[in-house]
Structure 1
Amino acid sequence: MWNEPPPPDPPARVWRDWALVGVLVALALLEGALRPDMPWRAVSVIVTVGLVPTLLWRRTRPLLMLVIAFTTSSVVPLFLDGGRPDAYTMVFMLILVYAVFRWGSGREIVIGVAVLLAGVRFSLAGAPLAPADAVGAFAVVFSAMALGGALRYRARARMRELDQVKLLEREHLARDLHDIVAHHVSAMAIRAQAGLATAVTRPEAATDALRVIEAEATRTLAEMRAMVRVLRKHEPAELAPGRRVSDLRQLAGQSRAGPSVDVRLAGDLDDLPPPVGAAIYRIAQESITNARRHARHATRIEVLVAADDTTVRLRVSDDGDTASPRLVSAPGYGLLGMIERAGLLGGTCEAGPGPERGWTVTAVLPRAGAAT
Structure 2
Amino acid sequence: MVTVWHEPRAADAPPIGRLDWLVAGVLAAAAVVESVARPDLPWRPLVTVFTLGLIPALLWRRRGPLIAVLVGWGVAGLLAILQVTAHTQDLGLYAMSADLILLYSLVRWGSGREMVVGTAFVTVVVALGMYASAAGWADVFGGTVLLLLFVALAAVFRYRADLWRRQRHEIRNHERLALARELHDTVAHHVSAIAVQAQAGRVVAGVQPEKATEILAAIESEASRTLTEMRTMVRVLRADEAVALAPQPGIADLPGLARTGATPVVEVSLDDSLTRLARPVDAALYRLAQESLTNAVRHARSATRVEIDVRREGDAVRLRVSDDGQADPGPAPKPGFGLLGMAERAQLLGGSLSAGPGAEGGWVVEAVLPGEALA
What TM-score results when the alignment is normalised by the length of structure 1?
0.87
Q: CA deviation at 1:3?
A: 11
Q: CA deviation at 1:6?
A: 3.9
Query: What SS is found at the alignment partner of 1:304?
Result: strand
- Structure 1's unaligned 5+ residue stretches are none
Query: What SS is found at the alignment partner of 1:263?
Result: strand
Cα RMSD between the aligned structures? 3.1
Matched, 1:319 2:324: yes
Q: In the aligned structure 1, how far is the partner of 2:350 from the partner of 2:167?
A: 21
Q: CA deviation at 1:68?
A: 1.0
Q: CA deviation at 1:35?
A: 4.9
Give the aligned partner of residue 166 of structure 2: 160
Give the aligned partner of residue 361 of structure 2: 357
Count of aligned positions? 368
Q: Do the aligned partners of residues 18 and 4 (structure 1) sit closer, same or farther apart at CA in structure 2, a change above 3 Å counting?
A: closer
C-alpha contact 2:265 2:305 (8 A) present in aligned 1: yes
Of 56, 59, 66, which aligns to 1:63? 66
Q: Do the aligned partners of residues 268 and 55 (structure 1) sit closer, same or farther apart at CA in structure 2, a change above 3 Å counting?
A: farther
Give the aligned partner of residue 311 of structure 2: 306
Query: What SS is found at the alignment partner of 2:152?
Result: helix
Query: What SS is found at the alignment partner of 1:156?
Result: helix
Q: Do the aligned partners of residues 7 and 279 (structure 1) sit closer, same or farther apart at CA in structure 2, a change above 3 Å counting?
A: farther
Q: In the aligned structure 1, how far is the partner of 2:330 from the partner of 2:216?
A: 31
Query: What SS is found at the alignment partner of 2:105?
Result: helix
State the AA in 2 paired with 1:161. Answer: Q
Q: In the aligned structure 2, how far is the partner of 1:166 from the partner of 1:345?
A: 20
State the AA in 2 paired with 1:280. Answer: L
Q: CA deviation at 1:303?
A: 1.2
Q: Do the aligned partners of residues 307 and 87 (structure 1) sit closer, same or farther apart at CA in structure 2, a change above 3 Å counting?
A: farther
Q: Do the aligned partners of residues 129 and 68 (structure 1) sit closer, same or farther apart at CA in structure 2, a change above 3 Å counting?
A: same
Give the aligned partner of residue 76 of structure 2: 73
Q: CA deviation at 1:252?
A: 1.2
Q: CA deviation at 1:233?
A: 5.6
Matched, 1:343 2:347: yes
Give the aligned partner of residue 209 of structure 2: 203
Q: In the aligned structure 2, how far is the partner of 1:15 from the partner of 1:267?
A: 62
Give the aligned partner of residue 267 of structure 2: 262
Q: CA deviation at 1:257?
A: 1.9
Q: CA deviation at 1:210?
A: 1.5
Identity %: 47
C-alpha contact 1:260 1:299 (8 A) present in aligned 2: yes
C-alpha contact 1:279 1:342 (8 A) present in aligned 2: yes
Give the aligned partner of residue 275 of structure 1: 280
Question: Could you tell which deviates more after superposition, 235-244 or 357-366?
Answer: 235-244
C-alpha contact 2:57 2:68 (8 A) present in aligned 1: yes
Q: CA deviation at 1:66?
A: 1.0
Question: Could you tell which deviates more after superposition, 26-35 or 330-339?
Answer: 26-35
Matched, 1:248 2:254: yes
Question: Could you tell which deviates more after superposition, 55-64 or 267-276?
Answer: 267-276
Q: CA deviation at 1:267?
A: 3.8
Query: What SS is found at the alignment partner of 2:262?
Result: coil
Q: In the aligned structure 2, how far is the partner of 1:27 from the partner of 1:300?
A: 85
Give the aligned partner of residue 52 of structure 2: 49
Matched, 1:130 2:136: yes
Of 332, 339, 351, which aligns to 2:336? 332
Q: CA deviation at 1:249?
A: 1.6
Give the aligned partner of residue 150 of structure 1: 156
C-alpha contact 1:40 1:84 (8 A) present in aligned 2: no
Q: Do the aligned partners of residues 326 and 25 (structure 1) sit closer, same or farther apart at CA in structure 2, a change above 3 Å counting?
A: farther
Q: Do the aligned partners of residues 24 and 306 (structure 1) sit closer, same or farther apart at CA in structure 2, a change above 3 Å counting?
A: farther
Give the aligned partner of residue 146 of structure 2: 140
Q: CA deviation at 1:191?
A: 0.2
Q: CA deviation at 1:130?
A: 1.4
Instruction: Write out per-residue CA displacement over residues 61-106 of structure 1, whole angstroms, 9 at most, x where no aligned residue.
Output: 1111111111122224555664564322322211110111111112
What TM-score results when the alignment is normalised by the length of structure 2?
0.86
Q: In the aligned structure 2, how far is the partner of 1:185 from the partner of 1:98?
A: 58
Of 296, 299, 313, which aligns to 1:291? 296
Q: Do the aligned partners of residues 7 and 78 (structure 1) sit closer, same or farther apart at CA in structure 2, a change above 3 Å counting?
A: closer
Q: In the aligned structure 2, how far is the partner of 1:181 from the partner of 1:128?
A: 77
State the AA in 1 paired with 2:347. Answer: G
Instruction: Write out per-residue CA displacement over residues 117-158 of structure 1, whole angstroms, 9 at most, x where no aligned residue.
Output: 232233344333212212221221122222222322332233
Q: CA deviation at 1:294?
A: 2.3
Query: What SS is found at the alignment partner of 1:261?
Result: strand
Q: Do the aligned partners of residues 143 and 261 (structure 1) sit closer, same or farther apart at CA in structure 2, a change above 3 Å counting?
A: same
State the AA in 2 paired with 1:98. Answer: Y
State the AA in 1 paired with 2:301. Answer: R
Give the aligned partner of residue 184 of structure 1: 190
Query: What SS is found at the alignment partner of 2:303?
Result: coil
State the AA in 1 paired with 2:192. Answer: S
State the AA in 1 paired with 2:12. Answer: D
